[in-house]
Structure 1
Amino acid sequence: MKFEREFFYDEVRDGFYIPGIMKRAWGAGLTILSEIDRICNQYDIPYYAAAGTLLGAVRNGQCIPWDDDIDIMMLRKDYDKFKEVLKDELAKELSFNTLETQEHHYSFFTTISTQSVDVHSGLLRKYQEYPFMASVDIFVIDELSEKPEEEQRRRRVLMGFLAILNRLKKNPEKDDTFQEELKKLENLISAHFDRDLPLERQLYKEIEKELIKYNGKAGKRLTCIPWYILHEDYSYPKRVFEKRKRVPFYTGSLPIPEGYDVILRAEFGEYHRKVRADGAHNYPYFKKFKGMLQQHFKDRWMPEYSFSEEDLIRPEIQNFRDLAMLTVEAFHSALTELMDAIENREFPRCLSKLATMQEEAITFGNAIEQKKGEGTKSVSLIEEYCEALFELYQRISEQGARGDFSKGSALLVKALKKERKNILTCLENLQAAVQKDFKKQVVFLPHSAKHFASLRPLVDALLEEEEIECKIIPIPYYDKCGDGRLKEIHYEGEDFPKEYEIVDYNCYDFSVELPDCIVINSPYDEFNPVWTVDSAFYSKELKKYSNKLIYIPWFVTDEIDPKNEEDGKAFTNMEYYVTVPGLFHSDFTIVQSEGMKKAYLAKIEEFAGKDVTKKMEKKIAGAGSCLLGEKKGQGIKEVAEWVKAFALKNKEKKNKEKNKMKRE
């Protein structure tokens, strides 16, 4: 079965986040289904999409976002024929799991699965790079008795079997109470179980007899008996299977009964209404295989992210702009020291100080020219500043050349104080010019042109700010093999909207530029099993080059309440975008709402504990997502102002006001 590569990437559909690894699970299941379809077509054996797979096929030709497996159903007579032909037809890497074929298959349902967790490259390629055991569930449809009392008895019997099986699972020790319950069941079905042989197998063989007990007795209604036992409304007339048709499903098609509406209403009620039911429970099914892979392959298997306190520590970064502003402030402080020397008539010290100030100014000007080239306003003002310093130096030197600084010193001090105002004005102008020549730099690092939508409104808002320079730098990303190795590299810089200036990531040196703020929407580093950005752009690397790293998720989901059973699966999947390095390395994360902030914190507490959650609470803002727009979330302008004021703040303004008060 062929899939476009985009099929396997994380997405949000119907407000639900679907991780890429779930897409691979679907892909592997559909690959198994294509093998089933081949065999059934070859031998003219009818089968039908079932359960959530049927619902997804009817709704929109896709898997339901919160479903994690592939289900089909067969009438019992077709299933019996299918069993026979499988012996010679089934691909060798697949296993037919039923009571007759697998000694330890204890289940009401049949599955066809890959035989084991495997990272053999050939099988990984065939089964869509999915490294875990993949399967398709087969539900067998049997007849119901026309007599209600017979079905009531069958329900009592099967519920008795369930009770015994649950007891065995919870407490393998067969105590006196267990023996009494087992004896009651034996009396009910007129059978005897050998206590010296594996009991589960004997129980399931008797269950199989109960499932087919009323087949061929002219019953008018059908059902999957195990479902019917738990949900009495789940049955339908035989006519729903009289005809079948194929409906589009991803790149292929699926057979469904023409009476699908009756089946879906029996199972789901008003099935057009989208409801996430049943909570998390064993979702996703493949989580039980993760430990097996880690144990089997050890260091050769992909690691999972584990939090470290070091992830919250970040180095302090000073970029050229910071140093330039500090240098201008140092010029102000030097001028204050110079005036102190003038007030105290320490003219030799004044000359020394002026010489030093001029050397520092020349060095500063050379650095700006090297960074920005010639002709900047800052450099011209530094030249004016140097000229003013030189004039002061000349005036003091001339007084000294007359032989005595004491003569006319009062007049000299008065003249020098007058010159101070000119120098101070020059420094104020220099500070403003440096701010203009070296704007605060915000770098956006999207990997996908499609996901640029999550950043675009914020980029537009910041582009209107004169004091901010925005740089959009699309970064490369790689697909990953099922064993974690990198595959193809992708770069989408050419696909971004043409009205934006796009910077080539090869031409931007983070170690030189040291931007004031970096904004990411790919927080996974190496821990997304399906794809990854280039390692140079992992969040743990980026925070070495900026004082502010901000994470804005590329998506918006429905609101998630961790205490709501219906949100159980959505809360489970938060691990794919919350318990990831980018969230902990970032100085701030902007999520879609205050409610989602609470959900994030609940997931963090589950993952890293209460102490870490308290620290992270200050680093997450429910300010709203740009994707929500002006009506549903925080206004885009407000988010932009928040980023400006909160994420880009530094000590410049405070220092400027403090020094101004000193000078006055």
Structure 2
Amino acid sequence: MFGRNNKNDQEILNNKLTTEVSDLTQQVNHLLKKEDKLPGINEDIQNISSEISELKKEIQSVKNENVELKRIIEDNKKNYDRILDSYNQQFSTLFLYYDLKSKGPLRNFQRLNQELLNFVVNVLEKYDLKYWLDYGTLLGAVRHGGYIPWDDDIDLGMMRKDYNKLIEVIDDEIKSNNLENVEVTVNDRLEAIRISFLQIAYYSDEGELLAGLDVFPSDYVDTPPSGFAEKVIEEQKIFIEKMKEGADINEYMDDYYQRFNLSLDEQNYIVSGIDNNLRGNSGYHAYHLGLFKKEVVFPLKSIKFNDVSYPCPNDTDFYLRDLYKEYNKIPKVVVHHFRADNLNRKYDDEFFDRQIKKFEQINDNFGK
């Protein structure tokens, strides 16, 4: 019995060894088949390595080209900056140190705009409403003694109480003086995200804008708390959205006045109106909060604009630096309205002379 068990164990061992040998044989055959493919795989690897090497060379070449292109761009930028600086210096010399006069259609627009200004001034003085030259008009008066050479409209500033009164009376004054083509708009450009303060504009019979005067409101505040300016700037964004949604501006302004402790009556500080978003030097429609001590604006002084005296802020230097920083320099980028260019072929000097004479007669006889 013992011998039979040994025989069975031997058979089991032999079968196991046979199976293992068979498995090993299969693995060896599998490896041999793979070995047959190795030359092709190695060739593929070499080809891929070669392509990678070529790509690295191309990448380095592109990098070198980019470095050269960047150098060329920087050199060109420096050259363009030098050219721009040169032109800017020449324009500054011409506009600041020579007595240049506008002519042609631009001069016609400027003359007509000043007559529109004189009409509005007559209305303001009739009701004892205080105003001052503002923005580009003030800048032009200080830097050029009149219009900025390429400008063709008028900007005025007013405190809210007088501003509201002007809105109440201006339509009747326009009608009583038979100025059929003068129109008044308030808060009427929301689709362009530009809140429209008060604009008094004169149009031709064909509906072309011939003269425009913008009035920008400011408010009083006693003592602005910490973070006041930032909160007003954020509120101005909300104001724009509310007006676009059709909110009642009077209700909104009442709430705004209460929340920010503003006043219609004289206080220690003046803040530019929330419905006034043209303050600043970072773009024509940029909103920069003007926040001054009252003494920056009042008492108003007088300044010549084309040899006619008009009110201006008490400290024009501080006021203009807040608006335009280095306001005594001609900017490298000039923004203008192109009205003179656009209407040059439509209306001649005789047409403008008739419009100007009409305003002159009204202004000469105003209140008589």
Q: Which TM-score tier does this pair reach, normalised by the shorter chain?
A: 0.5 to 0.7
Contact 1:161 1:203 in 2 (8 A): no
Contact 1:96 1:112 in 2 (8 A): yes
Residues 371-520 of structure 1: matches in 2 within 5 Å?
480-482=349-351
Report SS of the residue matched to 1:201. coil
Q: Distance in 2 between matches of 1:142 and 1:277?
A: 33
* C-alpha deviation, 1:103, in angstroms: 11
Of residues 219, 232, 244 in structure 1, which corresponds to 2:300? 244
Contact 2:268 2:294 in 1 (8 A): yes
Q: Distance in 1 between matches of 2:253 and 2:271?
A: 15
The superposition leaves residues 594-631 of structure 1 with CA deviations (integer Å, 9 ceiling, x where unpaired) of xxxxxxxxxxxxxxxxxxxxxxxxxxxxxxxxxxxxxx
Contact 1:98 1:109 in 2 (8 A): yes
Task: Please identify the structure whose Cα radius of gyration is greater.
Answer: 2
Of residues 334, 337, 341 in structure 2, which corresponds to 1:284? 337
The superposition leaves residues 135-172 of structure 1 with CA deviations (integer Å, 9 ceiling, x where unpaired) of 1011111235612344433322323455x5xxxxxxxx
User: What's 1:231 paired with?
Assistant: 288
Q: Could you say if the C-alpha distance between residues 249 and 207 of structure 1 is closer, same or farther in structure 2, counting changes exceeding 3 Å? A: same
User: What's 1:95 paired with?
Assistant: 183
Which one scores higher on RCO, CA 8 angstroms, separation ≥ 6?
2
User: What's 1:79 paired with?
Assistant: 163
Q: Could you say if the C-alpha distance between residues 266 and 484 of structure 1 is closer, same or farther in structure 2, counting changes exceeding 3 Å? A: closer
Q: Distance in 2 between matches of 1:484 and 1:30?
A: 13
Report SS of the residue matched to 2:210. coil
Contact 2:199 2:215 in 1 (8 A): yes
Q: Could you say if the C-alpha distance between residues 46 and 13 of structure 1 is closer, same or farther in structure 2, counting changes exceeding 3 Å? A: same
The superposition leaves residues 374-410 of structure 1 with CA deviations (integer Å, 9 ceiling, x where unpaired) of xxxxxxxxxxxxxxxxxxxxxxxxxxxxxxxxxxxxx
Identity %: 25
Q: Distance in 2 between matches of 1:59 and 1:481?
A: 31
Contact 2:182 2:200 in 1 (8 A): yes
Of residues 122, 135, 140 in structure 1, which corresponds to 2:212? 135
User: What's 1:566 paired with?
Assistant: none
Contact 2:219 2:270 in 1 (8 A): yes
**1:152 paired to 2:221:** no
User: What's 2:198 paired with?
Assistant: 110
Contact 1:52 1:71 in 2 (8 A): yes
Give the structure with the larger helix fraction. Answer: 2
Of residues 235, 243, 246 in structure 2, which corresponds to 1:201? 246
Report SS of the residue matched to 1:73. strand
- Residue type of the partner of 1:240? V
**1:269 paired to 2:325:** yes
Q: Report how many residues are paired.
A: 240
Q: Distance in 1 between matches of 2:147 and 2:119?
A: 18
* C-alpha deviation, 1:209, in angstroms: 5.3
Report SS of the residue matched to 2:230. helix
Q: Could you say if the C-alpha distance between residues 103 and 73 of structure 1 is closer, same or farther in structure 2, counting changes exceeding 3 Å? A: same
Q: Could you say if the C-alpha distance between residues 151 and 132 of structure 1 is closer, same or farther in structure 2, counting changes exceeding 3 Å? A: closer
* C-alpha deviation, 1:279, in angstroms: 3.9
* C-alpha deviation, 1:28, in angstroms: 1.8
Report SS of the residue matched to 1:62. coil
Report SS of the residue matched to 2:147. coil
* C-alpha deviation, 1:208, in angstroms: 4.6
Q: Could you say if the C-alpha distance between residues 240 and 152 of structure 1 is closer, same or farther in structure 2, counting changes exceeding 3 Å? A: closer
Contact 1:61 1:248 in 2 (8 A): yes
Contact 1:243 1:258 in 2 (8 A): yes
- Residue type of the partner of 2:141? A
* C-alpha deviation, 1:245, in angstroms: 3.0
Of residues 250, 253, 267 in structure 1, which corresponds to 2:309? 253
The superposition leaves residues 195-223 of structure 1 with CA deviations (integer Å, 9 ceiling, x where unpaired) of xxx94533866765576453229863223
* C-alpha deviation, 1:239, in angstroms: 1.6
* C-alpha deviation, 1:265, in angstroms: 1.9
- Residue type of the partner of 1:148? S
- Residue type of the partner of 1:156? E
Q: Distance in 2 between matches of 1:258 and 1:24?
A: 31
Contact 2:154 2:212 in 1 (8 A): yes
Q: TM-score, normalised by structure 2?
A: 0.54
Q: Could you say if the C-alpha distance between residues 270 and 76 of structure 1 is closer, same or farther in structure 2, counting changes exceeding 3 Å? A: same
Contact 2:295 2:314 in 1 (8 A): no
* C-alpha deviation, 1:241, in angstroms: 3.0
Contact 2:104 2:349 in 1 (8 A): no
User: What's 1:58 paired with?
Assistant: 142
* C-alpha deviation, 1:47, in angstroms: 0.7
Query: Which segments of 5 or more consecutive residues in structure 1 lack a partner in the other structure?
Result: 1-11, 121-130, 165-192, 294-300, 304-478, 486-664
The superposition leaves residues 38-76 of structure 1 with CA deviations (integer Å, 9 ceiling, x where unpaired) of 111112111100011112212342111133321111011
Report SS of the residue matched to 2:168. helix
* C-alpha deviation, 1:94, in angstroms: 1.6
Query: Which segments of 5 or more consecutive residues in structure 2 lack a partner in the other structure?
Result: 1-93, 281-285, 355-368
Contact 1:221 1:235 in 2 (8 A): yes
Report SS of the residue matched to 1:263. helix
Report SS of the residue matched to 1:134. strand
Q: Distance in 1 between matches of 2:331 and 2:308?
A: 26
Q: Distance in 2 between matches of 1:50 and 1:42?
A: 21
Q: Distance in 2 between matches of 1:19 and 1:210?
A: 48
Contact 1:220 1:237 in 2 (8 A): yes
Of residues 262, 274, 281 in structure 2, which corresponds to 1:215? 262
Q: Distance in 2 between matches of 1:25 and 1:275?
A: 22
Q: TM-score, normalised by structure 1?
A: 0.32
Q: Distance in 2 between matches of 1:49 and 1:218?
A: 20
Contact 1:118 1:133 in 2 (8 A): no
Q: Distance in 2 between matches of 1:102 and 1:284?
A: 16
User: What's 1:467 paired with?
Assistant: none
